[in-house]
Structure 1
């Protein structure tokens, strides 16, 4: 049998079809009595496996041995194939010059087909090095030959690579065409690893085109395929981190990148991959407001890329380094020069990041007062506003807004901000998960701030109100997409509930729970992953906010929207047909005072802390000065709606002296309040009362309430299981839930209410066709929320409002369980006479005993919405 027909050659394609089997087969060949040709193939296989999945130093050792054995076998094609693989390994090891020499020798040594394969491998290396023109030149030379020789596997690889290079250059349509052609070829082969790589690449293409849910779904599919092959997924981690960053999940991306770096170091893996992981970690740290970590990661990445002669990558790392240094220090002329130089190099590379660098240079120049330099750089960045993916266009509109601001054109600022936020609106409608929609708003924070500043300078209170609303609680304007038919998600939720219940039972009995907690975290990741895959189905964000309509609907009431411009709170008082602005205090001082109040309420929830009451009341007066200013003197005598920014969601508004005896409600936005006002109760008027386990009072108010409402649905004991509770809540007129509330700051959509079979989480509520018209949550911390994105809130209350709930009563602080019972009974007494939630809550507070515990309990509860 000739060497070319040797069955040992079948091990080479097997490396990417069944890697473990290929490795075992190669070792078996070497344990026998192989010919030099056979030994060369076996060492080649082990070298590829070690290069991609193991220790790069071992890879180089085996590949050099394979090269020497190929020379002994006098097989030019065998030697050329090994030289191509060795070239890739050398470049991944940071030995770029040696790698390029190996490619030259391989191209000179091989026949037509093997030469084409080496050209493909060199094209891959050019891509790794960021030299995209050279990569396209080589892969375009390789593809016709590979097609003519019917080399299906290598043709598919070459098409996949060409698509990836197109993506790096921003040519998404060309990339998509090549990915589609490659996928058709992969279906005819058994190359499972290559198939997974194709799915991963399609995920990257979806991300580049702005489709985050599809990108996450495809990357998860690829991860499952890699897991079956038991192969590491460092490139996949890099791509997933890029998607997470674009979705506003910077802390999560940083954790994943740092973990991957540790794993890569542990196996002596590719230096090139380590540099790329450090770059994405640096970007994540910068976006997570950790500039010092960003500087550390980016500086190492710059050094590694330089040593690897990867100028394209090095320049991108330098961009992140400049951004982090700016965030950690002061603007300087040196930073302007560095950013401008990086912008020029990125533009020469054809990188989509070039406008971002030009915007950075312009922003720093503006901060230094260098208006001419700023205009030059911003004009370059502004060119990207007309075309390209959403984030690139937003970068362009941000640059245009800064140009207009520098030129003193308030109208120009507002027009640029409007156009940029419209781009982001369109992008967010593709996102089905409420978490992604909320976090995506961070990308429009600068535009929103510029518009508010321009409105404050020249537009008057009504315009400032309109722009405050333009970017406030927008994720709540439409319901999240619901996947009721997703069996994987439903089974995951059931399993999560069971494990969480078992873990809680074990804690109460003093048994160890690490294994249960690990399984719970795994299930949480799976549930969250499934929800992030959901695409949005809203055609748009609905009608724009209209101040005139708001004023007409307020009647004798007042709405106070708190806008924050350059760190200062401005109270926008709406009522009597006009909008007035009152300057108040600093946001930072108000946030600190709100934390002091929360600490005081926690103490007052326990008897014996009466001495803290005057301190808490004094903090309430101080909060009123900081948040309302002179607006507190102009509230009239009617109902008041407060619309705070997300960072003030924990303020107990009923504690403020001017609001203490009023009909008071809180809303995430004026638009949300108007939508709640327009929400009609469902037909039938069903009342549902739920009593969860483990409450100190046993939910003592529920039996009394059952008598008040005639024939309500009462769910308690074993009946209070999540599936039954959800079925009864769907479309109810009123729901009262007495159950332990748990807020998850680390993952707000896993905040929960304790039911008989485990936690009822926010993700469960999002599956309702229509949540109850009114909901009363009588336990601790049920109104706690996480502030994310530009000015968005995630938590139980905000999950209910877009789903058909017009009003919620919940607490934003720990409360005394015994004191809650009379408050709830008094609240429902008012509701049964036809009062709204806000009216009934005002009267219920007044009916409580005057001691500190009962007063603190009343202040802790807030009415949200308009029912």
Structure 2
């Protein structure tokens, strides 16, 4: 070939180095009426770009033209190369038979180096089709030739593909070796798109090995690289959906999959990718509790995969379809048979999802009372408990627990549940972000419920307490991983604060805020993304709960732990050396009543609602019946600690008649109360008083408190800026923050206290080395929390407790700013006299005026912890 031909052929590798520039050059070349060889290359370049980043119909048109031009020029090697590119496009278009025929002709027409490249691309097509043995065979034949030809780019591609196939078969170690070898080769090239693809593949490998933070970090890095190239990538969307679902972020995965499908449809993109995105969307919808959407997406995916002759993928889609139908309430012998068949096919493929299908068949059979069939399927699923990634082992232990329950072995149930939750504990502690730790507990909810059920049946109240604690508020069992000194994260936090403050000012001035809100949401996504990348540092799952230790520390205090079994509230009354169990009402009724109480408290925060006070008090009596039952009569006369489930976190416990005049505190778990009780105050005894802007009362209690404490650190006006506030809060003995509080149900870790320079958010508090020993949040909604995972809470209070705070006073409802001032002054009077937070809050409520607004304010505040 001539030098000019070599130059034109150089366009092909540039499609994956600088895709848009290569496209423009190919279009310019075609405009110059080139000879057939050059025109064939240009059409092939355009076809590749359209195949991977644009309209698949245009891709096929250009690639067929490229093939015909190569044949007209009678260039066999050129024709073979184009046929391979065309074969990939035909497979992605769902024309599998035509695509494989193009590969077959390409293998015959090419030789040596060219044939090796054709084999690599056919191996890729086999992988797309789910034909993994054929893919490994073709790539095995291609790699030695590519290496012999010193073809760095294609060798790296082939190694990356082989690693990806190994991952699909669960061979993580082999995949790691190939990814490492490929990465070393990519570092010597300028193939930027291929490099981004390698980073994406490493993210997939991290996910398959169970490292979710690393997977999220690598996929985000790959996305940034693709964005610089200006190329969409739907495979990245599919892989991120997988990771998001494993992180229990199914609603986000569903949104990502649906958005990608819309983009793909808009450009007429690859049919194969659409089917894979539909499968991801179906799985995400099922996990998000939307079985009907899952059924629709999965059924369409099954049809597309079948038409594309992609049996491996079709079988996975059938599994999700059966799961969704079961989630929608369907049970039948046909579903058992379908699930069993899917399990057999997945096992034949060597697919890691095979145990899930066996577990599903066993579950359906159990629901139908088919114990022999259930045992057969569950026994197969239980084999996965001994090896593999954590979530695969968890599947095995769930199957083993169900086997034991069906066999009537309470001991077997508890052992399987213990082993399964231990596996999940280890996995959970690899996650650095509080949000991911909390959400991961959802995967252990079934095991925890099975263990509680077995304990209630024969284990007695003490064992039920142990299992109630085993999977409750586990995020508080160890401090969160402290965010790294990441300049980009710090810059994003500062920018977020500035934008949020500007948006708030614009709202107050009735100016437009859409642009500011868009930028705020972008910064929130960036902050959250960087936080989710953190890897956990603490080994294990924290200290194991000890009933005797709890009873010894309680003294004359009674601890009331509420466990929920099958929707029924069970009261575990701990004190005086024993644990007693009482049945109360239905959880759903208690939740509904608590919401009515919250609405009533909001009305009482404003003058003129005095007539509602008797109604609210009556609600308190109903709540007591539903939540405490007969246990209310057995509380004795000492202090009470209430440990509610996450779904009851908004109950104003001081409103309940039997608790109204008591020293009362609330804790997310008995374990966290013990840790708070045993937390020592920091040396130095520093007091910090913070007054934020915009309070109706002006934070009027702060000057009086400054006089009471002598020489406290007072931060107000321009000094009440987030960096300075955090600096002073770190390691303080007592902090009082008078500031507007906002709760974000959609993003609880962005719940905030308003400072002079913008919001002080939960992510900021997590940067503290040690949060204040005692902290009083004189603000609305600071005790509001989001219930996530199995029984976890996210918000300001739960961010503080693992960081060294022994006690918090905060409000679970909007309050009247003016009425807060006397409550806070009375509270601090008690603290100055040596009382605990709970004692001082009880006395402060007694000291309030007897009108409705002040009474509601007192009920809205709760003491958390044990200080």
Whether these two folds match at TM > 0.5 is: yes
Is 1:583 the counterpart of 2:583? The answer is yes
Q: Partner of 2:735: helix, strand, or coil?
A: strand
Q: Partner of 2:74: helix, strand, or coil?
A: coil
Over residues 127-152 of structure 1, what are the superposed CA-to-partner deviations in whole Å (9 max), with x where a residue is unaligned?
Answer: 11111111111111111111111111
Aligned 8 A contact 1:652 1:860 in 2: yes
Residue 14 of structure 1 aligns with which residue? 14
Aligned 8 A contact 2:322 2:339 in 1: yes
Over residues 166-195 of structure 1, what are the superposed CA-to-partner deviations in whole Å (9 max), with x where a residue is unaligned?
Answer: 001100000000000000010111111000
Aligned 8 A contact 1:43 1:66 in 2: yes
Residue 775 of structure 2 aligns with which residue? 775
Q: Partner of 2:759: helix, strand, or coil?
A: strand
Q: Partner of 1:444: helix, strand, or coil?
A: helix
Residue 637 of structure 1 aligns with which residue? 637
Query: Where do 1:197-346 residues align within 5 Å?
Result: 197-346=197-346
CA positional deviation for 1:479: 1.1
Residue 799 of structure 2 aligns with which residue? 799
Is 1:746 the counterpart of 2:718? The answer is no
* Distance in 2 of aligned mates of 1:95 and 1:823: 74
Unaligned runs of 5+ in 2: none
Aligned 8 A contact 1:777 1:810 in 2: yes
Query: Where do 1:228-627 residues align within 5 Å?
Result: 228-627=228-627
- Structure 1 pair 4–355 and aligned structure 2 pair: CA distance change class (3 A): farther
Query: Where do 1:689-728 residues align within 5 Å?
Result: 689-728=689-728
Aligned 8 A contact 1:168 1:351 in 2: yes
Residue 60 of structure 2 aligns with which residue? 60
CA positional deviation for 1:79: 0.6
Residue 142 of structure 2 aligns with which residue? 142
Moved more, 681-690 or 335-344: 335-344
Is 1:172 the counterpart of 2:172? The answer is yes
Is 1:37 the counterpart of 2:37? The answer is yes
Aligned 8 A contact 1:206 1:212 in 2: yes
CA positional deviation for 1:621: 1.1
Q: Partner of 1:581: helix, strand, or coil?
A: strand
* Distance in 2 of aligned mates of 1:289 and 1:781: 28
Residue 113 of structure 1 aligns with which residue? 113
Residue 70 of structure 2 aligns with which residue? 70
CA positional deviation for 1:330: 3.0
Q: Partner of 1:659: helix, strand, or coil?
A: coil
CA positional deviation for 1:449: 0.7
* Distance in 2 of aligned mates of 1:79 and 1:54: 23
Residue 656 of structure 1 aligns with which residue? 656
Residue 736 of structure 2 aligns with which residue? 736
CA positional deviation for 1:620: 1.2
Q: Partner of 1:658: helix, strand, or coil?
A: coil
* Distance in 1 of aligned mates of 2:3 and 2:162: 32
Q: Partner of 2:613: helix, strand, or coil?
A: helix
* Distance in 2 of aligned mates of 1:371 and 1:263: 47
Over residues 236-256 of structure 1, what are the superposed CA-to-partner deviations in whole Å (9 max), with x where a residue is unaligned?
Answer: 111111111111111111111
Aligned 8 A contact 1:3 1:37 in 2: no
* Distance in 2 of aligned mates of 1:60 and 1:628: 70
* Distance in 2 of aligned mates of 1:429 and 1:227: 32
Aligned 8 A contact 2:477 2:543 in 1: no
* Distance in 2 of aligned mates of 1:822 and 1:210: 53
CA positional deviation for 1:295: 1.2
Q: Partner of 1:461: helix, strand, or coil?
A: helix
* Distance in 1 of aligned mates of 2:330 and 2:862: 42
Q: Partner of 1:676: helix, strand, or coil?
A: helix
Residue 155 of structure 1 aligns with which residue? 155
CA positional deviation for 1:4: 9.4
- Structure 1 pair 383–255 and aligned structure 2 pair: CA distance change class (3 A): same
Q: Partner of 2:313: helix, strand, or coil?
A: helix
CA positional deviation for 1:770: 0.4
* Distance in 1 of aligned mates of 2:67 and 2:623: 75
CA positional deviation for 1:484: 4.4
* Distance in 2 of aligned mates of 1:94 and 1:616: 64
CA positional deviation for 1:674: 0.4
Moved more, 759-768 or 23-32: 23-32
* Distance in 2 of aligned mates of 1:622 and 1:159: 67
Aligned 8 A contact 1:126 1:134 in 2: yes
* Distance in 2 of aligned mates of 1:469 and 1:165: 42
CA positional deviation for 1:329: 2.1
CA positional deviation for 1:612: 1.7
Aligned 8 A contact 2:385 2:392 in 1: yes
Q: Partner of 2:793: helix, strand, or coil?
A: strand
Q: Partner of 2:579: helix, strand, or coil?
A: strand
Residue 665 of structure 1 aligns with which residue? 665
CA positional deviation for 1:492: 0.6
* Distance in 1 of aligned mates of 2:58 and 2:611: 71
Moved more, 323-332 or 491-500: 323-332
Residue 46 of structure 1 aligns with which residue? 46
Residue 848 of structure 1 aligns with which residue? 848
Q: Partner of 2:10: helix, strand, or coil?
A: helix
CA positional deviation for 1:206: 0.4
* Distance in 2 of aligned mates of 1:334 and 1:787: 37
Over residues 809-850 of structure 1, what are the superposed CA-to-partner deviations in whole Å (9 max), with x where a residue is unaligned?
Answer: 000111111111111111011000000000000001111111
CA positional deviation for 1:690: 0.6
CA positional deviation for 1:6: 2.5
CA positional deviation for 1:428: 1.2
Is 1:830 the counterpart of 2:836? The answer is no
Query: Where do 1:80-119 residues align within 5 Å?
Result: 80-119=80-119
* Distance in 1 of aligned mates of 2:690 and 2:579: 42
**Cα RMSD between the aligned structures?**
0.9
Aligned 8 A contact 1:135 1:165 in 2: yes
Over residues 321-360 of structure 1, what are the superposed CA-to-partner deviations in whole Å (9 max), with x where a residue is unaligned?
Answer: 1111111123222221221111111111111111011101
Q: Partner of 1:431: helix, strand, or coil?
A: coil
Over residues 617-649 of structure 1, what are the superposed CA-to-partner deviations in whole Å (9 max), with x where a residue is unaligned?
Answer: 111111111111111111111111011111111
Is 1:646 the counterpart of 2:646? The answer is yes
Moved over 3 A (4+): 1-5
Q: Partner of 1:104: helix, strand, or coil?
A: helix
CA positional deviation for 1:5: 4.9
* Distance in 2 of aligned mates of 1:710 and 1:59: 78
CA positional deviation for 1:115: 1.0
